[in-house]
Chain A
Amino acid sequence: MASTEFTIDDLRRILREGAGTEEGVDLDADILDVAFEELGYESLALLETCGRIEREYGIALDDDALAEAQTPRALLKLVHGHLVTVHAG
């Protein structure tokens, strides 16, 4: 059963599992507005991350919208929008 909430801690966990942690980066710091690129995650890492989010939460993220989501805050917002839609319907 898919969860209804997606928090920064969920994102941290999925990033760690799916893409690992860049040396010198503290994911537990305030990373909401730090670009994924600065956190050491390139497009492949984000594809893996989003694949994990999609199957865990039972949603499908739009390719173009994903490309726009360049920070954790933007990604959280995108995922949250889908969760609301899914569970409202």
Chain B
Amino acid sequence: MRRRVVITGIGVMAPGGTGVKNFWSLLSEGRTATRGITFFDPAPFRSRVAAEIDFHPEDQGLTPQEIRRMDRAAQLVVVAAREAVAGSGLAPDTMDPHRTGVTIGSAVGATTGLDQEYRVVSDDGRLELVDHRYAVPHLYGHFVPSSFATEVAWATGAEGPSTVVSTGCTSGLDAIGHAVELIRENSADVMIAGATDAPISPITMACFDAIKATTPYNDEPGQASRPFDRTRNGFVLGEGAAVLVLEELGRAQRRGAHIYAEIGGYASRCNAFHMTGLRPDGREMAEAIRATLEEARLNASDIDYVNAHGSGTKQNDRHESAAFKRSLGEHAYRVPVSSIKSMIGHSLGAIGSLEIAACALAMAENVIPPTANLHNPDPECDLDYVPISAREARLDQVLSVGSGFGGFQSAMVLTRPERNTA
């Protein structure tokens, strides 16, 4: 008999408001958290908007040494992990460290910390042979982002299977999927699983400028992220972290934990097509969706809501709409689809976990978060994208998908555990 996995805790650090409560307010009210970049002078860049978090680590309980040691992405994920564990009701005395593990997704690791430290050791690029005497003592933790898993394990007391999953922009979904597999195969009973990225730095803006992936729509930053809209012209870079407490169903029930949702199915495929490009027909994403539904033993028509990747690039939104039609058939035209990236931007590897957190909260509230800024639907994106305002609906089975550089296409279904407990 297959071990089943449920979500019993959620922690979120997202633009527009930190913590689960603020995150859900933003999404359910359809507000946007994109703005002109404040972290550095964006003048030289083509894209000058981002979804930044107003984050003061000392106010979030991090100690001076934790702040010195960790890159911003690590700080965000540790704060989110603490919120998730606190909310789950798991206490140190009821956790078996050996049966508790950590999987953290991240696409670009400590890229912001590396950018800052490189400036110093190279003296703004003057030195080719960078000067080790100016390196911060914990630079190794930026060099290899497995430090994110280390920090979360230390923060939560986990001593079971622990790793970082780095599959580009599907990292967040894949980290949760990986954790689910570890619980199912009985390598752990509890997994602290999520993702983080804090990529809003000059090097990241520069590389996305170079491939024109981020939007040059700088004049009205609050409306810059426009998934599925005819006028969309790139994504808005974001940052954030979300962490879930995943638990074996029986264990969660025995301790009377609040259960947000069950992970009904998960699958990933690779397009083997191009590092940044997408095959127009969406076949690999469609196959990931098909395999996910099969694992969850659901039909396409059972899906009540699709949380889209919806990055707002011309290519992605078309690709994805094609994938939904290919995998869900006629139901694709009936099921509500939305992209929360319209509100919180695209935080690369973190976004997959933020989206699963949003899906779990949507199921708890029976409210579908909208696609903000969608005023002029693209004729090639002809599905129901829940424009502008949230919508109430009974949500029992929810699908979330992701698509990443490197060709990764992943899908996950959340269900209500009571549905098949009987």
Binding site for B on A (CB under 8 A): 42-44, 47-48, 51, 63
Contact = CB atoms under 8 A, between A and B. Distances in A.
Nearest to B209: A51
A47 B275 contact: no
A42 B274 contact: yes
A23 B351 CA distance: 38
A47 B211 contact: yes
A63 B210 CA distance: 12
Contacts of A42: 274, 277
Per DSSP, chain A at the interface is helix
Contacts of A63: 212
Interface string B272-315: 00111100000000000000000000000000000000000000
Contacts of B276: 44
Interface residues of B, number: 7
Contacts of B274: 42, 44
A51 B212 CA distance: 10
Contacts of B275: 44
Contacts, number: 14
B272 to A, nearest CB: 15
9 contacts: A42-B274, A43-B277, A44-B276, A44-B277, A47-B210, A47-B211, A47-B212, A48-B210, A51-B210
B235 to A, nearest CB: 15
A43 B277 CA distance: 9
B407 to A, nearest CB: 13
A44 B211 contact: yes
Nearest to A44: B276
Nearest to A47: B211
A48 B209 CA distance: 11
A3 B61 CA distance: 56
A42 B277 CA distance: 9
A57 B211 CA distance: 19
B184 to A, nearest CB: 38
A44 B212 CA distance: 10
A42 B276 CA distance: 11
Nearest to B216: A63
A58 B359 CA distance: 47
A44 B277 CA distance: 8
Nearest to B211: A47
Contacts of B211: 44, 47
